[in-house]
């Protein structure tokens, strides 16, 4: 009780609310990431009490991950990388005039997912973090391949096209300085490519510019409003939908928390895995990607749940779960705290404060998120020809802002044109973008693992977790056709 | 159109895989404690091995594609697409000379007028967007927007 009164003190509540408003702006603006938002807010918290600083970091994280879904749903441009999976069905619903329905569902699922994530953080933090820390290079390698397989096979529906897209993305991820030897690969002597192909410009190009090119190619599309009908918010109606799909919300939130707790796998991967799992286990997998309600619920519950998950290894062992918690650890050191097991003895009140702020942030997310939807909805529901130009300008500044680089704008343009052509040829884009994210993790773990085993591949396979992951990957590829074959046999008999 | 493009894509992927293998073969090998370990070429070559059958599959799928089969209409309004890509390149080059605000207003005006937005509306929208970005990105996020060579404030 004491801690609840503590977190609602004006010295904590006011900066906390301001940071949430800031999170709405960061998340809703394509090109600005939640990580960037947290990085920008940390210096402001230097002179504050640690709990106020932590409240601001949590506030930015939860709101920006949610508001990233607003342009993803209305424009098909993810506001943050974690909203990549939310594009698929959210945008389809918006095209059908059900944008508000998708976003209000998204908002409540984000709040519920976030709540479950923090709750699990409180309950299972120590054992889960221990499990994640024990993951070996081989297990991480297979985990990466599993995430990619889910996206390549399930999101595309055509494995050959999905594999091609993922392989191209992995190839893009090899551009730049080699992670182990420092050798420049495929840079053509360009210094700006030494750091690799920027993920943000590539994502903005693939999802933003390609969509603009598709729209300006049709006179009919240009005459339409950017969102046919926005619809109305109905919290009660949305709650009804959530009740009907409560298992999906729960399952996605748990998946999001577990994936978020694995170091290196953040909210973006959590959302893809939850989406893939939901599609795989759905009775109507064909509806996914065409405006499925479950296709909105799964990724949006998971990405916010992953935030709580990522705090598990960060808080308990001092190992960041994602890039945001890496900054959090830096901030904790700045406040004079020691992240790791000792924090539970030395600063137990602060830990309880973080838990309380995490839970209460989900309640505050609902009114703040509704304002965000209204504001961004108004901006984004203008005539399509106007919106397309705005999207282009934001795509340019979003690509430029990460490194203040003109080269990144050219990267965005190149990926936009490539994305347009690939989509025309029915090659799905999500596996490509996910492969760019996962590429360094997959390659790094594969090579380090092979060095450890001196080239032997036995350790890559003969391990209970590796075998489980390999079986899951095989199931992703062959589960569908095998099930159909078995069903046909049963019917024939 | 789709048939030709799909075959071209398949062929390009095979050529890309070959190019990656050739370039990778020039990477130095990695040796630790006298033992050869997977070096910088290992992963790209592995990917090339996956890309070759993928390319062949695209060629085969292209050959099977019916002539005239299309997704969305590729040809319609292609001029707009070319103009946008050209305008984007020109925008970046202009930014370096005129600075961010002025080049953004010009870029926005040109495209809005091309997309049949009335002049006055286009002018207002262009000024508002440029002003918003300068205020939010330049002032709030303190991002160094291109100042250009004319010395204008952004």
Range of the domain at B90: 78-140
- Of B40, B77, B92, Cβ closest to residue A406: B92
Ranges A3-17, A122-136, A393-407, B81-95: which has the least confidence: A122-136
Assess whether B30 and B54 both reside in one domain. Answer: yes
Q: Give the per-residue pLDDT at B51.
A: 95
Assess whether B84 and B134 both reside in one domain. Answer: yes
Q: Give the per-residue pLDDT at A174.
A: 94
Q: Give the per-residue pLDDT at B17.
A: 96
Report CB contact under 8 Å: A413, B85: yes
Assess whether B57 and B93 both reside in one domain. Answer: no
Query: Is B72 an interface residue toward A (CB < 8 Å)?
Result: yes
Task: Judge whether residue A36 has pLDDT over 70.
Answer: no
Could you tell me whether strands B30-32 and B35-37 are parallel, antiparallel, or unpaired per DSSP bridges?
antiparallel
Task: Judge whether residue A101 has pLDDT over 60.
Answer: yes
Assess whether B44 and B98 both reside in one domain. Answer: no
Burial (Cβ within 10 Å: 0-12, 13-18, ≥19) of residue A318: middle
Per cent of chain A over pLDDT 90 is 13
Report the phi/psi class of residue A426: left, alpha or beta, with left for phi > 0 and alpha for psi in -120 to 50.
left
B147 in a structural domain = no
B32 in a structural domain = yes
Assess whether B88 and B114 both reside in one domain. Answer: yes
Per cent of chain B over pLDDT 90 is 52
DSSP string, A86-113: HHHHHHHHHHTT-HHHHHHHHHHHHHHH
B72 in a structural domain = no
B73 in a structural domain = no
- Judging contacts by C-beta atoms under 8 Å, the chain B residues touching residue A392 are 84, 88, 107, 111
Q: Give the per-residue pLDDT at B93.
A: 93
Assess whether B42 and B20 both reside in one domain. Answer: yes
B70 in a structural domain = no
Q: Interface pTM (ipTM) of the complex? A: 0.91
**In chain A, which residue's Cα lies nearest the Cα of B147?**
A404
Range of the domain at A198: 2-492
Ranges A91-100, A101-110, A414-423, B38-47: which has the least confidence: A91-100
- Report for A126-140, A373-387, A447-461: range of highest mean pLDDT: A447-461
Task: Judge whether residue A333 has pLDDT over 90.
Answer: no
Nearest to B132 by CA among B145, B119, B120: B145
Q: Please answer whether residues A352 and A344 qualify as being in contact, where contact means their C-beta atoms are separated by less than 8 angstroms.
A: no
H or E stretch at B117: none
Ranges A21-25, A37-41, A190-194, A472-476: which has the least confidence: A37-41
Query: Is B85 an interface residue toward A (CB < 8 Å)?
Result: yes
The average pLDDT across A397-421 equals 89
CA A74 vs CA A70, A381, A389: distances in Å: 6, 8, 15
**In chain B, which residue's Cα lies nearest the Cα of A443?**
B43
Q: Give the per-residue pLDDT at A254.
A: 93
Query: Is B6 an interface residue toward A (CB < 8 Å)?
Result: yes
**In chain A, which residue's Cα lies nearest the Cα of B60?**
A160
Ranges A121-125, A192-196, B8-12: which has the least confidence: A121-125
Per cent of chain A over pLDDT 70 is 90
Q: Specify the number of domains making up chain B.
A: 2
Report CB contact under 8 Å: B37, A426: no
Q: Specify the number of domains making up chain A.
A: 1
B154 in a structural domain = no
CA distance B112 to chain A (A): 7
- Of B76, B88, B146, Cβ closest to residue A413: B88
Assess whether B98 and B120 both reside in one domain. Answer: yes
Report CB contact under 8 Å: A390, B43: no
- Judging contacts by C-beta atoms under 8 Å, the chain B residues touching residue A417 are 85
For residue A126, what pLDDT band results from cuts at 50, 70 and 90?
low
Report CB contact under 8 Å: B54, A447: no
- Of A170, A178, A421, Cβ closest to residue B47: A170
Assess whether B92 and B40 both reside in one domain. Answer: no
Q: Give the per-residue pLDDT at B77.
A: 65
Interacting residues of A144 by C-beta distance below 8 A, sequence separation 6+ = A438, A441, A442, A445
* Residues belonging to chain A: 493
Task: Judge whether residue A130 has pLDDT over 70.
Answer: no
Separation CA B49–CA B18 (nearest Å): 9
């Amino acid at each position: 009780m004491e801690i609840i009164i503590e977190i609602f003190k004006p010295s904590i509540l006011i900066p906390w609310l301001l940071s949430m408003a800031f999170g709405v702006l960061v998340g809703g603006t394509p090109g600005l990431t939640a990580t960037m938002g947290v990085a920008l807010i940390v210096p402001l918290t230097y002179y504050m009490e640690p709990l106020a600083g932590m409240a601001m970091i949590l506030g930015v994280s939860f709101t920006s991950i949610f508001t990233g879904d607003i342009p993803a749903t209305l424009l098909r441009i993810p506001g943050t990388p974690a909203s990549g999976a939310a594009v698929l069905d959210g945008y389809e619903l918006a095209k059908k005039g059900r944008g508000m329905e998708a976003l209000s569902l998204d908002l409540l699922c984000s709040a519920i997912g976030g709540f479950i994530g923090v709750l699990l953080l409180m309950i299972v933090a120590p054992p889960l973090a221990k499990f994640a820390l024990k993951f070996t290079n081989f297990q991480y390698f297979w985990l990466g391949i599993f995430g990619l397989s889910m996206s390549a096979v399930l999101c595309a529906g055509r494995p050959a096209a999905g594999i091609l897209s993922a392989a191209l993305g992995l190839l893009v991820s090899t551009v730049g300085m080699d992670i182990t030897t420092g050798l420049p690969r495929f840079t053509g002597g360009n210094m700006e490519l030494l750091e690799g192909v920027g993920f943000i410009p590539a994502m903005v190009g693939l999802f933003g510019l390609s969509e603009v090119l598709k729209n300006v190619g049709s006179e009919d599309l240009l005459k339409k409003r950017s969102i046919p009908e926005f619809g109305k918010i109905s919290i009660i109606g949305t709650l009804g939908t959530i009740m009907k799909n409560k298992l999906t919300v729960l399952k996605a939130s748990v998946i999001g928390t577990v994936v978020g707790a694995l170091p290196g796998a953040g909210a973006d991967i959590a959302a893809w895995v939850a989406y893939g799992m939901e599609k795989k286990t759905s009775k109507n997998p064909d509806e996914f990607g065409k405006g499925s309600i479950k296709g909105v619920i799964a990724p949006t519950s998971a990405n916010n749940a992953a935030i709580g998950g990522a705090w598990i290894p960060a808080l308990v062992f001092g190992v960041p779960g994602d890039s945001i918690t890496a900054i959090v650890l830096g901030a904790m050191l700045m406040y004079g705290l020691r992240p790791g097991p000792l924090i539970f003895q030395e600063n137990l009140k602060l830990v309880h404060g973080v838990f309380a702020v995490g839970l209460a942030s989900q309640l505050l997310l609902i009114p703040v998120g509704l304002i965000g939807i209204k504001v961004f909805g108004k901006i984004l529901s203008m005539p399509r020809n106007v919106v397309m130009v705005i999207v282009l300008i934001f795509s340019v500044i979003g690509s430029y802002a990460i490194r203040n680089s003109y080269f990144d704008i050219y990267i965005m343009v190149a990926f936009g044109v490539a994305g347009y052509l690939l989509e025309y040829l029915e090659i799905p884009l999500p596996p490509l973008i996910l492969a760019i994210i996962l590429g360094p993790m997959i390659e790094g773990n594969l090579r380090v693992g092979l060095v450890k085993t001196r080239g032997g591949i036995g350790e890559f396979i003969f391990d209970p977790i590796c075998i489980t992951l390999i079986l899951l990957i095989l199931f992703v590829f062959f589960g569908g056709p095998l099930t159909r074959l078995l069903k046909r046999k049963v019917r024939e008999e | 159109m789709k048939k030709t493009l799909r075959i071209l894509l398949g062929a390009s992927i095979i050529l890309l895989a070959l190019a990656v293998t050739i370039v990778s073969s020039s990477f130095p090998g990695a040796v630790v404690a006298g033992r050869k370990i997977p070096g910088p070429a290992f992963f790209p070559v592995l990917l090339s091995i996956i890309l070759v059958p993928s390319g062949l599959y695209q060629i085969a799928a292209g050959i099977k594609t019916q002539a005239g089969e299309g997704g969305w209409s590729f040809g319609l309004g292609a001029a707009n697409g070319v103009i946008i890509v050209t305008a984007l390149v020109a925008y970046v080059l202009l930014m370096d000379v005129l600075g961010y605000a002025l080049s953004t207003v010009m870029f926005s005006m040109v495209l809005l007028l091309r997309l049949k937005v009335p002049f006055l509306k286009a002018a207002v929208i262009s000024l508002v967007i440029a002003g918003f970005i300068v205020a939010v990105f330049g002032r709030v996020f303190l991002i160094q927007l291109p100042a250009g060579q004319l010395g204008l404030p952004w």
